[in-house]
Structure 1
């Protein structure tokens, strides 16, 4: 299985994550500061800032795009419950 480096800037930790994994699943395993309330893409509590590797995440779904808009997300903010890893990426809680 292909793997990519996922760096959590808030805890200064880089892990090798399977390509296709959701950021929230890896975040939960290593104990970062990204919180969540659902995993469905509706609430927006798991908003994260993508520091590097923006293009190494899947495109936002319609549901995620709606939640980002409703939460006034910035250009490089994504929902950790929706974003899947495609390559090396660095994130932190928003």
Structure 2
């Protein structure tokens, strides 16, 4: 199974996680400052800036894309509760 290396820039920690893991799950385990509310991709509180490796995450779903647009999120922002790692290196930080 593929693994990804995820760096949480707000706490300067890099961890390895298996493909298919959601960013929010990893964030909770390491104590990153990514906040969340619903975990269902509807509230937008977990918007996260992907500073490197955005192509190493799953594509945004229609719902995630809608929530990101409604919140005027930047080009490389994702919902941590929806984005799943595929492999490779990824760097993220809370918005």
State the TM-score, normalizing by the size of structure 2: 0.96
Q: Where does the alignment leave 5 or more consecutive residues of structure 1 unmatched? A: none
Residue 94 of structure 2 corresponds to residue 93 of structure 1? yes
The runs of at least 4 aligned residues of structure 1 exceeding 4 Å deviation read: none
* Structure 2 counterparts to residues 1-94 of structure 1, below 5 A: 1-87=1-87, 88-94=89-95
Q: CA RMSD in A?
A: 0.7
User: In the TM superposition, what is the alpha-carbon distance from 1:3 to its structure 2 partner?
Assistant: 1.3
User: In the TM superposition, what is the alpha-carbon distance from 1:2 to its structure 2 partner?
Assistant: 2.3
Cα distance in 2 between the residues matched to 1:92 and 1:32: 8
Q: Where does the alignment leave 5 or more consecutive residues of structure 2 unmatched? A: none
**SS of 2:14's equivalent?**
strand
User: In the TM superposition, what is the alpha-carbon distance from 1:15 to its structure 2 partner?
Assistant: 0.2
